[in-house]
Amino acid sequence: MSESIIWYLREFLRTEWIRKFLLAKTDPLVTPPYFKDYPTLTGKECTACYQCMMICPAPGAIAVLRHDDGWRPEIYPGHCIRCGLCVEACPEDVLQSGRVLEAQHRDRTGFRATFHLSIDREICMRCGNCCISCPVGREGEPDGAVLKIEKGGVQILNSDLCTGCKTCEVNCPNRGIRVARVVEGVQEAAA
């Protein structure tokens, strides 16, 4: 027992403790610069390549929308989980968050992705939601579409145009269309 009391006495008689006790001050409530907050726009031009939508792991967190002066990604707080993957995936540095962009430039890291579309003919009920919702090839040449309803079923026209944005997957009522997004994290060797 005596050891314990002496221990506590010694604990409370340390100069550091006394100083802290008398001059107690809560740490300032600052957000450190390295915190990955919601992605913000850097002001660079978005080319609507949908890489951010492709990699986003949370449902409904990001959408690339068309405004009067061009395309712009929109982040929805309440859905966004602040993982920072969209910042890393964006090839044009449109978004930034914390130190992610800085670290990416420093380490020359990035993601490389390939996409594979597959349609389950047995489940597909040919509603055409996927073709209508697909954001690729909206204007311009009519051949620039990824999907098309033809011969009584969905046909994949140009699978190399697919950006993996999974809009078709989300809009498909019965999971007939699937986009496999094979992503790998890569790093260029230091020059």
Partner 1 sequence: MKKTVDVSIPIGPMHPCWKEPIRLKCETIGERVLRTEVELGYMKKGIERIMRGRPWQEVMFLAERICGICSVIHNMVFIEAMEGISGIAVPPRAAYLRVVVNELDRMESHILANFSYCYTIEHETLAMYLLNVREIVLDQLERITGSRINTAYMIPGGVRFDITEEDAAALLAGLARVEEDVERYTRMFATSYLIALRSRGVGTMTREKAIEAHAVGPTGRASNVPECDLRLQHPTYQKLGFTPVCRTEGDNFARNMVRFDEVMQSISLIRQCIGQLPEGPIRGGGACTAGEITYQGEAPRGELTYYIKSDEYGRIIDITVRTPSIMNIEACTHHMINDVTSVADVTSTFISSDPCVACTER
Partner 2 sequence: MSLLQKLKNRVRSKSIHVCFVDVGSCNGCDIEVLACLAPRYDIEQYGIYVHNNPREADILLVMGAVTPQWVDKLVAIWEKIPEPKAAIAIGNCPISGCVYNRRDSYIDPPAAKHIPIAAQVPGCPPRPTEILAAILSLAPTIFENYEEKKR
Q: Which residues bind partner 2 (CB under 8 A)?
A: 26-27, 29, 31, 35, 57-60, 77-82, 175
Closest CB 26 distance from partner 1, rounded Å: 11
| Structure token digits, residue 5 | 């009391």
For the chain, strand residue ranges (E) read: 40-41, 62-67, 70-75, 95-96, 109-119, 147-150, 153-156, 177-187
Q: Which does 36 bind (CB under 5 to 8 A by kind): partner 2, partner 1, none?
A: partner 1
Provide the minimum distance between the beta carbon of 2 and partner 1 in the complex, in angstroms, as a whole number.
Answer: 10
- Amino acid at residue number 104: Q
From 44-52, 99-107, 126-134, 140-148, give the range in contact with partner 1 by CB under 8 A: 99-107
48 binds, among partner 1, partner 2, none (CB under 5 to 8 A by kind): none
- For residues 168 and 114, what is the distance between their CA atoms, to the nearest angstrom? 17
Whole-number Å distance between alpha carbons of 38 and 29: 18
**Selected range binding partner 1 among 65-73, 119-127, 145-153, 173-181, rule: CB under 8 A:** 173-181
| 39 forms part of the interface with partner 1 (CB under 8 A) | no
Pure H helices in the chain: 2-12, 15-22, 51-55, 85-89, 100-107, 129-133, 167-171
* 189 touches partner 1 (CB under 8 A): yes
36 binds partner 1 (CB under 8 A): yes
